[in-house]
């Protein structure tokens, strides 16, 4: 854990609640982005991210300052997303309805940019759709958020071997989907 | 390394997650096998494509009013006291294994104890005052009775044996 975050955590725990905002601001966009990719819907993503920040504040006393705050808060997010997904599945089964997909999060007021963003987002979501929930979590954390295997395993509370197995399967499935539907992206430089 | 093993490692090679030794073995195989090399290039390309899509997607963000509202909600929340169980949470698989071990150990102890208990549940009385001795009826004192009473069922077994019996003629 970096010194800045450690100091901020200690300040919050000693009663200076204003220190919480600078502590979570660096995670404002990344957590919402990850929540969106897991939940596939901006309203749900905001709810999951909000729940994550609230829980992080509520249970900050349980956080071990010697460990990574980033891993801890991502762990909360993954857990919150799983809970939310389970609730949604129950609700959808009850209502016999299709899951709600796609509403814009970013793009601002520019309609052209917004359209492009939505197009790209729907393609990425389409690729992620072939993955199982666990493969999706592993792929997003390791390949999109660029965390290492150990961090990913820590966040998902599983072994590094399990991460490698799911990552391997996820990459094969993503390759098949991109090759079938979006071959124009193959060979592009990131 | 053969194609089957190589196929298993190719997705991890694309993300540099293999050990140096294993990566060298896979690369050596790729130099010889065109099909595996094609697979490796496709996976690497797909991985780059997914990252490109994620980068082009544009970062989702909160509006300022939503962010302020969230911060106000946080400010209205109380920090929980540190849980006594904090840090003691077990993975479900580990908790299940521990429970299973405890059940097996308990069953083992119970079964190990049972034969001893069975031995002590019967009392041995030698000789009994109120016992009918068949040999007394004949005016002889050669019959030796042993009574075994079960504490559990109350079953009484009286065993007489002749102390003069020397085994002669037995089995004829």
Q: Does B62 touch chain A (CB under 8 A)?
A: yes
Say if CB B149 and CB B138 are below 8 A apart.
no
Q: For residues A97-124, b (16+ Cβ closer than 10 Å) or e, as one string? A: eeeeeeeebbbeeeeeeeeebbebbebb
Least confident of A35-39, B14-18, B105-109, B144-148: B144-148
**Alpha carbon distance A101, A124 (integer Å):** 13
Q: Is residue B9 predicted with pLDDT exceeding 80?
A: yes
Residue B54 CB neighbours (<10 A): 22
Would you say A151 and A68 are in contact if contact means Cβ atoms under 8 Å apart? yes
* pLDDT of the residue at B82: 61
Which residues, other chains included, contact A99 with Cβ-Cβ below 8 Å and sequence gap of 6+?
A40, A41, A88, A92
Structure tokens at B43: 């996976």
The reply to whether residue B43 touches residue A172, judged by beta carbons under 8 angstroms, is yes
Q: Sorting pLDDT into bands at 50, 70 and 90, what band is A155?
A: very high
Best mutation target among B8, B15, B16, B57 (most A Cβ atoms within 10 Å) is: B57
Residue of B nearest to A103 (CA): B60
Arithmetic mean of pLDDT over chain B: 77
Would you state the pLDDT for residue A104? 46
| pLDDT attached to residue B149 | 83
- Would the pLDDT of A74 be above 60? yes
pLDDT mean across residues, chain A: 83
Of all residues in chain B, the percent with pLDDT exceeding 90 is: 15
Q: Is the pLDDT of residue B110 over 80?
A: yes
Tokens of B39: 């697979």
Judged against a pLDDT cut of 80, whether residue A100 lies above it is answered with no
Q: Are A136 and A143 in contact (CB under 8 A)?
A: no
Tell whether B74 lies on the interface with A, counting CB pairs under 8 A: yes
Of A120-129, A140-149, B50-59, B119-128, which one has max mean pLDDT?
A140-149
Tokens of A134: 């666990």
Q: How far is CA B91 from the centre of its chain?
A: 14
Query: Could you give the dihedral angle defined by the CA atoms of residues B38, A181, A89 and A49, in that order, rounded to the nearest 10 degrees?
Result: 80
pLDDT at A42 over 60: yes
Query: How far is the alpha carbon of A110 from chain B, nearest alpha carbon, in Å?
Result: 13
Higher pLDDT, B105 or B130: B105
Does the pLDDT at position A190 exceed 60?
no
Q: Do A60 and B79 touch (CB under 8 A)?
A: yes
Which residues in chain B have Cβ-Cβ distances shorter than 8 Å to A12? 79
- B89 pLDDT exceeds 90? no
Q: Is the pLDDT of residue A189 over 90?
A: no
Reported pTM: 0.67
> Among residues of chain A, what percentage have pLDDT more than 90?
39
The pLDDT assigned to B81 comes to: 66
Residue A102 above 60 pLDDT? no
Alpha helices per DSSP H over B15-143: 20-32, 34-56, 64-75, 92-120, 134-137
Omega of the bond leading into B127 within 30 degrees of 0 (cis) = yes
Q: Rounded CA gap, B99 and B113, in Å?
A: 21
What's the pLDDT at A174? 92
pLDDT classification of B109: cutoffs 50, 70, 90: confident
| pLDDT band with cut points at 50, 70 and 90 for residue A1 | low
* Interchain contact, A178 vs B61, CB within 8 Å: no
Distance from CA of B108 to the nearest CA of A (A): 32
pLDDT of residue B104: 93
Count of A-B CB contacts under 8 Å: 135
Interface check for A143 against chain B (CB to CB < 8 A): the answer is yes
């Amino acid at each position: 854990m970096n010194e800045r975050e450690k100091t901020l955590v200690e300040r919050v725990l000693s009663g200076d609640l204003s220190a919480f905002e600078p502590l979570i601001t660096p995670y404002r966009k990344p957590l919402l982005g990850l929540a969106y990719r897991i939940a596939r819907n901006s309203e749900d993503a905001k709810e999951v991210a909000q729940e994550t920040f609230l829980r992080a504040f509520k249970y900050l006393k349980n956080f071990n300052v010697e460990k990574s705050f980033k891993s801890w808060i991502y762990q909360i997010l993954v857990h919150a997303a799983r809970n939310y997904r389970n609730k949604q599945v129950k609700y959808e089964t009850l209502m016999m309805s299709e899951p709600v997909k796609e509403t814009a999060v970013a793009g601002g007021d520019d309609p052209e940019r917004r359209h492009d963003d939505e197009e790209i987002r729907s393609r990425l979501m389409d690729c992620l759709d072939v993955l199982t929930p666990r493969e999706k979590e592993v792929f997003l954390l390791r390949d999109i958020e660029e965390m290492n295997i150990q961090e990913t395993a820590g966040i998902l509370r599983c072994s590094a071997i399990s991460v490698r197995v799911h990552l391997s399967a996820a990459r094969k499935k993503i390759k098949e989907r991109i090759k079938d539907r979006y071959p124009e992206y193959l060979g592009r430089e990131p | 390394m053969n194609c089957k093993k190589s196929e298993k490692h190719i997705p991890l090679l694309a993300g540099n997650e293999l050990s140096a030794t294993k990566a060298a073995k896979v690369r050596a195989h790729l130099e010889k096998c065109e099909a595996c090399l094609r697979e490796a290039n496709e996976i690497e390309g797909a991985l780059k494509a997914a990252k490109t899509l994620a980068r082009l997607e544009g970062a989702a963000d909160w509006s300022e009013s939503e962010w302020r509202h969230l911060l106000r909600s946080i400010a209205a929340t109380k920090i929980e006291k540190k849980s006594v169980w904090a840090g003691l949470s077990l993975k479900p698989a580990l908790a299940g294994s521990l429970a299973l071990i405890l059940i097996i150990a308990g069953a083992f102890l119970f079964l190990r104890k049972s034969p001893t208990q069975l031995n002590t549940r019967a009392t041995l009385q030698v000789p009994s005052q109120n016992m009918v001795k068949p040999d007394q009826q004949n005016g002889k004192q050669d019959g030796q009775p042993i009574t075994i009473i079960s504490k559990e069922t109350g079953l009484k077994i009286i065993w007489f044996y002749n102390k003069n019996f020397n085994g002669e003629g037995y089995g004829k």
